Structure 1
């Protein structure tokens, strides 16, 4: 044996003189992929590890539930985790000037000067990852969660006296983390009886808007409705908490798909169903009430297939045939009818609260009056709720009519004397605040259904038409406001013949745009950028040469349309983070670039109107559209915290603006045409204006 180490080992065991005839060596190599989190190694193994690896390789964010599972396994999440996130934008502009003095062809003197301008914007947010737990549905229905604490294997206690907080995500993958024994309960809904299983799983999710992109749509919607919808003014219990529709823990609908009225589920989430089955699912009983997230998603997109007045008629018909609504016996039919009547009025209250403009249609109101009368006959104690419902609806519709009248007044011809906005409001930060007032007011009157109905008008193949309904035009008016602000900015610049004054006005609007960015008012920011980039303004080279363009370059970078506005979308996400946990109203403001939002919703809406090959409605698309619109609803509910200046707002909304041709002529008056193309255009414009 040539290996002395082996020979020595054998002799130490068998004694001196032992001879090794043959030896076989075996070596094993174990490879494992490790992900380091805060310096702690986490082995990527199994199906969850493979999913995280694939996501990281492809540059995607791994699903939140998979990351949570690994963190729980490794014991990292044994206490709330604090995460500090900061967004920084830095821009450096270097300007170099060289001057050469020559006499008789000889260089006499050479001088150069270099200036450097640095602009730095930053925002920061601190968020805490907390453990959140889903309460079993059976306990919710029986009220057992009150004064009860639930603890998991890590020693956490969740739940508090009289309160319930639903998890913001429901995992579609099985977890090896702490689980709880399923509880079997008998569930009843809309005339059906079935056995269902409720399961409770611990889930750790970040309390930040960053997790929204990885959540299932039903869970996200439930979380949003839990935070920011109904105010309890209709007389119903304010402690009513919606369950998470579509999860095994909360869905009470039978999963039998053997008939055409069935709803189709996958991993506990509603995927599709016939129109009849979806309508049946929203009809309450004495022991069943539909989930808020489902109600919002269905009421939002169902109008692509059935008009609101027809939908309410179908609901009324089902209540009459299945629950005895309007029967001669009244409340004597069975003891549960009083509870059913309360649920039905609550359904109407949520409908009027979320989609009040549906009730401008007299056909809808006829059904409302009939249903409320029938419910009061069954349960006289809910008359106060009905009165509150109708009063709040009247207030919303009256406010809409008054707002529409103000829009009609703003459309009338105004005084042609162009007021300098910088004289009325010398401080750009104050002007940005007044712009935010206008934006939030106009946003607040846009109904969520307007997105669907606006797109439906462009699709001739839809099964329903909105021509016979009294429509609102708040969405179109908001787009017109964006265009008006852009032209207003350009008009303010071109009104001055002197270059020094134009420079002052341009810098004033750039600073105003910067303040809009800091507030989170991205729509006004984009309108200002669009106004300054209009050709009558951008061609004023002598004016722009006197302007420090570094600040404007930063704003343009934020709204750069390349890569589908990736820079803006990142900034918007940072603003959502700030808004998500903010207590100060100033930090809650998020006003999105509206045209891009409409574009995103348009493409989502295209999938909603297409039925599946089996004739079912694709409810998965309903969830996606509802998720986006729910974000918008949260943004528009913010109250503007700044002091309102009616004089400034009047100039912004009613001040005169020049049209495209008038702006071009004014621009040529400021700085004459430089090339043949501009000269020809100037000549044509002057000829047209003379002819008029």
Structure 2
């Protein structure tokens, strides 16, 4: 079976180098190299370069980059059908008498290619046409070589599990959104019904940071698949699951603001602010930059920042350090430095906790979007600009590495349920302090009446 490298190591070089990985004769028909790096090629030649033969298997770097970018030029199910046809023609699989020796050498390589495709881009196979083509190929392979029947079955079962997870994630999102809407309606009509707050549910800020990391890692697992599927990022803003992930960021920000503004007394609000500062600091230590940024955003909202007397009761040194780390100036230079440090720690880590890297997702999407918009997909001669897609794949591959980490923290269903469904006020920031403002007004009237 051809050996493959991890995502963490496969993009360390400048580009795809033919002398490192080209196992067949140096035939560059339709492909253009610069300093031994593949920079462009016709679609037909690039597809041909993906198809394994008896003595050649494409490098994983090339497989990932081409499968990621090819959907701009050919639909995945059409690509799979074309690969199948090329294999049949090249290996003469339709002939009455087959060379079983050659078949035994070729079969492991096409099996490996299918495994890499289903593992890296499972979302492609939600298309029934794609699944039908896959079944046709696996049936053909099993017919030619009985030894790989079990491998094909395991691959298919693994793919089905991944697709089931994606479907379940979407169902959960739908149910959570409905639950949040219902609870928010109750909050607006009966504010006195609020009996719980985040500190009551989880008094330990470190535990809350760990539960936030659970949510982020589950989301990332599904989101990166969808990023890869969406035509190299040109339609990212139209993708419902990506919108849901952005909504999660916004929800966490408004949850922080709501929790801070709800208490009537300044000392209680100050306690909640200090609590979220500790949560944010632990998110930073874990490597959960998305939750960190969401918390900082919530604490910088106008309803929170204007609580001057409350902030006066707090030692803000820790918060100032966190704000400095996520400072947007110089294109988020401080954050990018911290992210590189976390990524380096992940590469040399001995535990899953040290491997966790959850980037600030909105900035990642922005980086990918501008890289995509800044370069043409095709060159003047009609060739596909493979050099551009190499850079895109390099960015996405880092995220692919980070998504593979299993969360080492124990799940707390009660805390997770609260984080995902607790009612928060809408984007109209004037609504956020409405409940505690009504309480203040009521207390003020009583106080004035007593004085009178």
Please name the residue that 2:314 is paired with.
Answer: 547
- Aligned equivalents of 1:304, 1:324: Cα separation in 2: 30
The corresponding residue for 2:423 is 656
How many angstroms apart in 2 are the aligned matches of 1:623 and 1:267?
15
Q: Describe how 1:570-609 pairs up with structure 2 within 5 A.
A: 570-607=337-374
Would you say the 8 A contact 1:611–1:618 is kept in 2? yes
Match of 2:288 among 506, 521, 524: 521
SS of the residue corresponding to residue 304 of structure 1 reads coil
Q: 1:485 aligns with which of 252, 256, 273?
A: 252
Q: Determine the C-alpha separation between the residues in 2 that align with 1:329 and 1:378.
A: 12
Q: Deviations over 1:343-394 (max 9, x none)?
A: 2222111100110010010011111111111112211221111111111111
SS of 2:304's equivalent in the other structure is helix
Deviations 1:180-207 (A, max 9, x none): xxxxxxxxxxxxxxxxxxxxxxxxxxxx
- Provide the C-alpha distance between the structure 2 equivalents of 1:609 and 1:334, rounded to a whole number of angstroms: 45
Return the offset for 1:651. 0.3
Deviation at 1:340, TM superposition (A): 1.8
Q: Quick one: distance in 2 between partners of 1:579 and 1:593?
A: 16
Secondary structure (helix, strand or coil) at the match of 1:411 reads helix
In structure 2, the residue matched to 1:561 is 328
Question: Paired residue for 1:312, among 56, 77, 80?
Answer: 80
SS in 1 for 2:101: coil
Q: Give structure 1 stretches of 5+ with no counterpart.
A: 1-139, 142-163, 169-208, 219-244, 460-470, 673-692
- The structure with the largest helix share of the pair is 2
CA distance in 2, matches of 1:532, 1:343: 53
TM-score (norm 2): 0.88
For the pair 1:444 / 2:221, whether they are aligned, the reply is yes
The number of residues matched between the two structures is 427
Corresponding residue for residue 97 of structure 1:
none
User: Cα–Cα, structure 1 residues 283 and 395, in superposed 2: closer, same or farther, change >3 Å?
Assistant: same
1:610-664 Cα shifts (integer Å, max 9, x gaps): 2000100111111111111111011111111111111001000111111133115
Structure 2 CA distance for aligned equivalents of residues 587 and 607 of structure 1: 35
| Partner secondary structure for residue 344 of structure 1 | helix
Structure 2 residue 145 is matched with structure 1 residue 367: no
After superposition, residues 470-509 of structure 1 pair within 5 angstroms as 473-509=240-276
In 2 relative to 1, CA 438–324 (structure 1 residues): closer, same or farther, beyond 3 Å?
Answer: same
CA distance in 1, matches of 2:312, 2:301: 17
Q: Which residue of 1 aligns with 2:445?
A: none
Query: Which residue matches 2:20?
Result: 249
Residue 333 of structure 1: CA displacement?
4.2
2:381 counterpart SS class? coil
Q: 1:532 to 1:654 in 2, by over 3 A?
A: same
Cα distance, 1:296 vs structure 2:
0.5
Deviation readout 1:474-521 (Å, 9 max, x if unpaired): 332221111110011011111122212111111111111111111111
Q: For 1:163-312, list aligned pairs within 5 A.
A: 215-218=12-15, 245-252=16-23, 255-256=26-27, 261-312=29-80
What is the distance in 2 between the residues matched to 1:387 and 1:608? 41
| Aligned pair partner of 1:335 in 101, 107, 113 | 101
**1:456: which partner in 2?**
234
What are the ranges of 5 or more consecutive residues in structure 2 without an aligned counterpart? 188-192, 442-452
Three-state SS of the structure 2 residue aligned to 1:496 is coil
Quick check: which has more Rg, 1 or 2?
1
* Corresponding position of 1:621: 388
1:392 equivalent in structure 2: 158
Native 8 Å contact 2:258 2:433 kept in 1: no
* TM-score, normalised with respect to structure 1: 0.58
Partner of 2:444: none
Alignment of 1:21-40 (within 5 A): none
Contact 1:440–1:636 under 8 Å retained in 2:
yes
Gap change, CA 1:293 and 1:670, over 3 Å in 2: farther
Hey, which of these two has a bigger chunk of strand by percent?
1
The equivalent of 2:377 in structure 1 is: 610
Aligned mates of 1:411, 1:655 — CA distance in 2: 11
